[in-house]
Amino acid sequence: MNEAEKEMKDSIAEVREWMVRNDENQKHIKELLEVNNAQTQKSLEVAYDSKYESAENKRQQKNLKWQIDTNKKEFNDYQRDQAQEKKWVIGLAVTVALALLPILLKFYSDVITGLQ
């Protein structure tokens, strides 16, 4: 083996050693990236979940506010209807009493004059 072949083999061995170190570095970098990717994925999921819960809470609050407003409006409408019905019943009672008043006066005046 001459000097040129030895240098060639040394160079090839050095290149192989460099490639193995490079491969190990790449594996290490790949592992770091996978860990970083997993951590990023988890943090994104947590952020998404918190945003989703926040949006869900806001939606529930809006629904609750809408239900409260609707219930208030319906209750006010109910109170107004009850007041109108009460007025209608009182008006009917007064009308019937006024209509019966002449009949009652005539009947009782006849009874009173008949007793005398």
Among 18-27, 56-65, 81-90, 95-104, the range scoring the smallest mean pLDDT is 18-27
Closest CA to 27 of 38, 19, 16, 17: 19
Q: Is the pLDDT of residue 1 over 70?
A: no
- Residue with the larger pLDDT of the pair 77 and 3: 77
Cα gap 115→108, rounded to integer Å? 10
Q: Is the pLDDT of residue 41 over 70?
A: yes
- Residue with the larger pLDDT of the pair 21 and 69: 69
92 three-state secondary structure: helix
Cα gap 77→96, rounded to integer Å? 28
Q: Is the pLDDT of residue 114 over 80?
A: no
